[in-house]
């Protein structure tokens, strides 16, 4: 199944549109599951009814989350529209998985600092960037050396969610640590070059136009992996960035050392960044731009978090 002609066509179309490798993995995985669900019948022989059956199976029998069902739907819409050239899917009988309305877990500034004090080294710097810039963990780990703009006090987020670029804050506290980290990257890169490696993966247009840029320091990942690996798309042996799981494990260990009972993940720092800015009086449009939200409604969730807080409404018992 992994080497089938159909899946190769899917992968080629995804890469042509410059979707991320994680999107490629997710889409191909859902397409494989869909085909297996219908007894390995080719999708050309399947249609709206079969797509509905599979998505309803996910919601009713597998009890998946709404976001999971939506991801499966996106994969199948991509398959039929972009690969099989079927313009629309008629899904009138689709039973949507219920998406519960949940407020994000946020940390107070004191709680965030308590957790950060339990961290050290590279993990501390990463979490300080998450909390100080509001970027996602994936965006942080994909940072290249040239994305850090010390002169203007900002960092560039390239190809963020929705394949959009944006500028975010560069915490002043992180600058000395970032300079040291770049020196470490430089040392690793020079060693790689002497061993015949050191090439970075560039966007396709740039790689063709400026092939020598592949070995420049600016294109190296800010948080490089300890090992050289082969890129699954280009087969280039290069030094990728570290895994988010490494950061998450160390963060969980740090939280366990505190008295904080909240469920804290790397993404919690992003939520906390947004609420801190709003509490400090910054305009919600500014926060929206920094977070890279396409829709203002997404950013509005943080106003609900603030309004639910203990300082918004005075409890009757406190007036006694």
Positions marked active-site: 136, 161, 267, 270, 293, 302
Count CA atoms within 13 Å of residue 34 on its CB side.
Answer: 32
Cβ contacts of 280-288, under 8 Å, gap ≥ 24: 287/134
Q: What is d(CA 300, CA 285) in angstroms, rounded to the nearest whole number? A: 10
**Phi, then psi, of 268 in degrees rounded to 5:** -60, -35
Q: What is d(CA 24, CA 26) in angstroms, rounded to the nearest whole number? A: 6
H or E, element range at 298: helix 296-307
Cα torsion angle, 180, 215, 148, 108, sign: negative
Cβ burial 69-87 (10 Å sphere, 16+ → b, else e) = bebbbebbebbbeebeeee
């Amino acid at each position: 199944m992994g080497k089938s002609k159909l899946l190769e066509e899917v992968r080629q179309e995804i890469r042509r549109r410059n979707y991320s490798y994680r999107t490629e993995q997710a889409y191909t995985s859902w397409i494989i599951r869909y085909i297996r669900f219908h007894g390995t019948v080719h999708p050309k022989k399947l249609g709206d009814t079969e797509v509905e059956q599979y998505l309803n199976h996910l919601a009713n029998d597998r009890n998946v989350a709404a976001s999971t069902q939506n991801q499966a739907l996106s994969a199948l819409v991509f398959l039929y529209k972009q690969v099989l050239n079927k313009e629309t899917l008629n899904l009138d009988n689709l039973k949507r998985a219920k998406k519960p309305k949940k407020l994000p877990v946020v940390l107070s500034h004191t709680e965030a600092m308590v957790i950060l004090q339990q961290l050290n080294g590279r993990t501390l710097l990463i979490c300080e960037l998450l909390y100080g810039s509001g970027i996602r963990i994936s965006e942080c780990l994909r940072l290249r050396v040239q994305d850090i703009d010390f002169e203007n006090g900002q960092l560039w987020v390239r190809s963020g969610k929705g394949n959009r670029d944006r500028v975010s804050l560069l915490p002043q506290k992180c600058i000395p640590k970032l300079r040291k980290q770049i020196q470490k990257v430089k040392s690793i890169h020079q060693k790689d070059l002497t061993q015949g490696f050191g090439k970075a993966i560039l966007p396709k247009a740039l790689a063709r136009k400026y092939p020598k840029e592949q070995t420049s320091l600016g294109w190296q990942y800010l948080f490089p992996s300890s090992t050289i690996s082969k890129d699954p798309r280009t087969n280039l042996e290069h030094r990728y960035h570290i895994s988010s799981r490494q950061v998450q494990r160390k963060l969980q260990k740090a939280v366990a050392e505190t008295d904080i009972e909240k469920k804290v993940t790397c993404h919690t720092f992003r939520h906390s960044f947004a609420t801190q800015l709003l509490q400090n009086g910054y305009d919600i449009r500014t926060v929206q731009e920094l977070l890279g939200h396409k829709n203002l409604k997404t950013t509005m969730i943080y106003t609900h978090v603030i309004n639910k807080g203990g300082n918004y409404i005075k409890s009757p018992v406190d007036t006694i």
